[in-house]
């Protein structure tokens, strides 16, 4: 318990120092690194607390909490960026977050878990349902882009984006009903009842730490966004690359650490569900919310992406669907999935 107490003190101290140093005239790179370091420490804390709550409520709810609190970081950063007019960064971050969760988080989880065990298993039924939802999300995110390539002069893109956003939100919340109520036993992946009885006594403590850490991340997210433009100029990077790689890597750190912890503890089912579930949340919840926020703030955000963004998301979806077909994973599959993310990152950098 003492170790955990010191961990909390150190984590919140780093966050406080990062916030205080933002008031000093430091270089954008240093300010960005300090805020990012604080968010990474907080993300690790969020991951640990989410895993403990997963022991209390079960793997499905635990994975949902991991994806939700993880994507809260991404959503906060994107909303702040959108209100400041960084539309290109926001749109790129949607694609980048999907890729980071689908490929990097899942791939590294398979590697970490596979280093300790020859083969790890996960729920094929959940993987199948998630694969179908992923393809639906990809269809919604890419259909406007394809239409824009074929008929670029067509009007009504903002109205169509709002319509798709509403459909996505309906599908997303009906997914809750399906997985948590009508088909909960159908999707059940196991019971951790013994540990739940021990942890349930401290459930409110874990929830309080989660909410506090997320609130601090919200404050630090404003610092991250404030440094994005000067950072990109200083490093000679495009706004698209910053949105595709930098923002998602920071925003995805909570679910990243949670997924790795689960994989390390031979709970690959929860790890896969967090990686794929986070991607689904970005596509079906975060993206629609950003579209509606942009409309409300008078900064229209359409679901029109570049051709290369459409292609890589489609390829990533196919790859993850193929990898999850047999309900088993090993470290070499993780290598291949992670390598695909690195290839895409290099593509975006040099293009």
- Mean pLDDT across 43-64: 71
116 against 27, higher pLDDT: 116
Whether 174 has a pLDDT exceeding 80, the answer reads: yes
339 pLDDT tier (thresholds 50, 70, 90): very high
Q: Output 98 or 246, whichever has higher pLDDT.
A: 98
Percent of the chain with pLDDT over 90: 22
pLDDT for 5: 59
Q: Under a CB-based contact definition with an 8 Å cutoff, are residues 114 and 334 in contact?
A: yes
Q: Does residue 247 contact residue 76 with C-beta atoms inside 8 Å?
A: no
Domain that holds residue 221: 2-350
Identify the weakest region by mean pLDDT among 32-41, 46-55, 100-109, 159-168. 46-55
Domain of 159, CATH number, reads 1.20.1420.30
**Is residue 252 a contact partner of residue 100, using CB atoms and an 8 Å limit?**
yes
Highest mean pLDDT: which range of 16-30, 56-70, 184-198, 258-272:
258-272
What is the pLDDT at residue 38? Answer: 80
> What was the pLDDT predicted at 156?
74
Higher pLDDT residue, 106 or 73?
Answer: 106
Q: pLDDT higher for 115 or 55?
A: 115
Given a contact cutoff of 8 angstroms between Cβ atoms, the answer to whether 287 and 303 are in contact is yes
How many domains does one find in the chain?
1
3-state secondary structure of 187: coil
Decide if pLDDT at 3 tops 70. Answer: no
Query: Whole-model pTM?
Result: 0.84
């Amino acid at each position: 318990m003492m170790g955990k107490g010191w961990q909390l003190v150190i984590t919140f101290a780093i966050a406080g120092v990062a916030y205080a140093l933002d008031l000093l005239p430091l270089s954008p790179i240093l300010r960005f690194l300090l805020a990012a370091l604080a968010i990474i420490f907080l993300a690790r804390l969020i991951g640990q607390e989410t895993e403990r709550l997963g022991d209390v409520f079960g793997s499905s709810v635990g994975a949902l909490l991991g994806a939700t609190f993880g994507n809260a970081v991404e959503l906060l950063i994107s909303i702040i960026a959108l209100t400041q007019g960084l539309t290109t960064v926001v749109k790129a971050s949607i694609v980048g977050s999907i890729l980071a969760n689908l490929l990097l988080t899942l791939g590294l989880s398979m590697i970490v878990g596979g280093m300790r065990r020859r083969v790890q298993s996960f729920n094929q039924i959940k993987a199948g349902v998630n694969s179908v939802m992923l393809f639906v999300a990809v269809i919604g995110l890419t259909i406007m882009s394809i239409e824009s390539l074929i008929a670029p002069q067509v009007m009504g893109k903002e109205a169509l984006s709002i319509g798709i956003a509403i459909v996505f939100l309906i599908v997303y919340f009906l997914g809750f009903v399906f997985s948590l109520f009508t088909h909960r036993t159908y999707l059940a992946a196991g019971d951790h009842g013994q540990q739940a009885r021990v942890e349930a006594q401290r459930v409110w403590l874990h929830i309080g730490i989660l909410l506090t850490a997320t609130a601090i991340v919200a404050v630090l997210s404003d610092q991250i966004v404030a440094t994005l433009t000067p950072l990109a100029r200083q490093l000679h990077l495009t706004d698209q690359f910053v949105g595709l790689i930098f923002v998602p890597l920071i925003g995805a750190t909570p679910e990243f650490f949670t997924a790795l912890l689960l994989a390390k503890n031979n709970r690959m089912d929860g790890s896969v569900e967090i990686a794929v579930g986070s991607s689904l949340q970005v596509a079906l919840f975060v993206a629609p919310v950003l579209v509606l926020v942009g409309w409300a703030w008078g900064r229209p955000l359409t679901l029109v992406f570049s051709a290369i963004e459409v292609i890589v998301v489609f390829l990533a979806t196919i790859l993850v669907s193929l990898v999850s077909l047999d309900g088993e994973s090993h470290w070499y599959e993780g290598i291949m999935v992670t390598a695909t993310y690195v290839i895409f990152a290099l593509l975006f950098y040099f293009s």
